Structures are given as C-alpha cells and as structure tokens.
Amino acid sequence: MKAKITLKDIARELEVSISTVSKALKNSEEISRDTKEKVQAFAKLYNYKPNNIAISLKNKRTKNIGVVIPDIVHHFFTTVIRGIEKYANARGYNVIVCLSEESFDKEVINMEMLANGSIDGFIMSLSSETQQKGDFNHLKEVTEQGIPVVLFDRITNEIDCDKVIIDDELGAYMATKKFIEQGKKNIALITTDDYLSVSKARTMGYIRALEESDLGVDESKVLKLPSMEMDEKSIKKFMDSQELDAVLCVNEIFAVYSMRLAQQKGLKIPEDISFIGFTDGLLSKYANPSLTVVSQHGERMGEVSAKMLIDQVESEEEEETYQTKILEPTLVIRDSIFH
C-alpha cells in the first residue's frame, strides 16, 4: 500500500521548504526554473495530488453541492439528478445526494448534516410532508447562513431564493385543451391533494381549460388522492363510478394504471377513452398503447438548477436578487390520444 504523498513529503525529500514546493507546483514566478523542474518531476513521479479536504478548509469552498429530493425511484427526479450531475461535473463540482423520502424530519436532518461545511449550496425539491406542514425553518436557517439554495419543482414562496419550475398550470391546460379539441366531453383528472404545489397548479390548468370551453368543471370528475403513492383501489372505484372519455393524470403511473382499467372494461384507447399523463418516463414510452404525456424536461431542469446554484456560489457579491425560472412543458404525443 503506497500512502498518499503530501507537500511535506516532497519538501523533506528534496530538502526545500513546503512553501517552495507549493509554489513550484503552481509554476510561481518566484521559484527558479531549476527548482520548479525538480519539484514538478518529483511530484509527477510520485503522483502527487493535493488533498481536497485541506484545500476546502483553506478556501472555504468544497466544490460539492447537496441535492435533497423526496425520492429517487421516480423517473422525473432521476432525470433531474442526471442533469445536475452532468452540469455540475463539467464545472468541477461533485453531487451529494440525500433522500428525504417525503419525510420532513429526514429533510431537516439531511440539510443540517450537509450545512456544516460539507457543501457550497443546495438544490432541492420539498418533501410532501414539508409542503403539507408549511414549515420551512430549516430552509430559512440555511439561507440566513449565506448558503445558496435553489428550489425546483416542489417549491414554496415563503423562502427567498432561486427557483426552477415548469409551468404546471400550462401543462395541464394544454393537455386538457387537447382533449377538448378532440371532442372529448367527460374529462377526468386524477391528482393529489392541493398541498403539493405541482398538483395544485395542474388542477388549476385543468380547470381553466374547462372553464374556457362550454364544458365547465364537474367536481365529481376530479379525484384527489392523498399522495403520489399508488392507490389502486381508489382509482378503480373512481374509474368505475362514471362514464369518461378522457383522463388527465398527474403522473404516468396513475395514467398507465387507469389505462389498463379501461382496457379491462373493453374500452378502446384512444377511440372510447383517451389518456394523458405527466412525466415523460420509460413507462409512457413503452406502455401499450404508448402514453401521451406532458414532459417536464427533468434533465433540463437539473442543468438550469445547477447553473443557477453554481453561478451564485461563485459570484463574489452576494446578490439579494433571486429569480424564478419557469420552463415550458411540452406535449409528447403518443398513441393514447388521437394523433
């Protein structure tokens, strides 16, 4: 086992001072050509690499960014992470991922763990429990300490920081309007409780599209599940209870599952009943029929979030001016609706 070599080792071996070695490796003007060559050759030979921790301690920059998300086994979050990772890596940053698993306590613990010097900034999406409680003190504390935070997708207006979201209202509006244009009359919405910021916005888009049309809103055609967790029973009951010819779902799982229910009843998709979901994941692509979705562009969202965060981390002046980027959703047309 060859242990890592340090500046001190090089200095001792070459009989110069640590400072000389440090400067020589940085090609400082101060050091003579001779010494520099000697030091650099020696360093290369023994594969010297500076210790990241020591550097972090010195310049109070870790080059790590903390990502706190509710769940990783969810296609949307996965793509966001990928976007963050790609962008951050390109700028020399590493990504520390923490999962809150939709729990407020875990979110708090994770943030506290990372806030003590481990990271330069946070990118996060709130857990459902946090959004439900409306308690954002952990975020406040962190921002007050001057640690930059970027909130994405599941955000709150109570915290002053950069934010990245897609226009969920618009996404749902576009989807619903599509149904209307295709002559659908009984358009349902399967969503979750309003405390989830995204669900609330989507519901609003659905309502706006219907109100702009002759159809109007029928409350009984809206199913609000308590969470994003799959709840087969409630969906089945809802789907069985009425005649529908179009269903908008707040995620792809709900959509694919309800498609199957419809098929079991002998309905033809999209002729008898059409479906649109949110999240452009594998499921939508490979479902049968393939599912039309509102794409949230997770990877893009990740990149944008990472850019905003790193720009802030690296900016000297602490700018008290935060922005909210709103990404446009797009409809990815597949076989679950008419082309």
CB atoms within 10 A of CB 325: 16
Q: Scan residues 218-277 and list those touching DNA (CB under 7 A).
A: none
Instruction: Please state, in angstroms and rounded to a whole number, the distance separating the CA atoms of residues 11 and 142.
Output: 41
Please tell me whether residue 224 adopts helix, strand or coil conformation. strand
- Given DNA, a copy of itself, none, residue 68, with its beta carbon under 5 to 8 Å by kind, binds none
User: How many residues line the site for DNA (CB under 7 A)?
Assistant: 31
Please tell me whether residue 187 adopts helix, strand or coil conformation. strand
Instruction: Please state, in angstroms and rounded to a whole number, the distance separating the CA atoms of residues 294 and 332.
Output: 6
Helix ranges restricted to H, 75-164 = 75-90, 104-115, 128-133, 137-144
Instruction: Please state, in angstroms and rounded to a whole number, the distance separating the CA atoms of residues 63 and 314.
Output: 10
- The answer to the question of residue 318 lying near DNA (CB under 7 A) is no
For 151, the enclosing helix (H) or strand (E) is strand 149-152
- Given a copy of itself, DNA, none, residue 263, with its beta carbon under 5 to 8 Å by kind, binds a copy of itself
Instruction: Please state, in angstroms and rounded to a whole number, the distance separating the CA atoms of residues 89 and 94.
Output: 6
Q: Scan residues 213-232 and list those touching a copy of itself (CB under 8 A).
A: none
- The answer to the question of residue 40 lying near DNA (CB under 7 A) is no
- Nearest distance from C-beta of residue 131 to DNA, angstroms: 32
How far is residue 154 from each of residues 12, 16, 44, 130, 144, measured CA to CA in Å? 54, 55, 47, 10, 21
Comparison of 67 and 150: residue with beta carbon closer to a copy of itself: 67
- Nearest distance from C-beta of residue 25 to DNA, angstroms: 6
- Given DNA, a copy of itself, none, residue 339, with its beta carbon under 5 to 8 Å by kind, binds none
Q: Scan residues 2-31 and list those touching DNA (CB under 7 A).
A: 4, 6-8, 15-20, 22-23, 25-26, 30-31
**Can you tell me which of 29, 34, 45, 53 binds a copy of itself, judged by CB under 8 A?**
53
- The answer to the question of residue 118 lying near DNA (CB under 7 A) is no
List contacts with a copy of itself (CB under 8 A): 1-4, 49-54, 56-57, 62, 64, 72-73, 75, 78-79, 81-82, 85-86, 89, 94-99, 110, 112-118, 144-146, 253, 256-257, 259-260, 263, 281-283, 286-288, 318
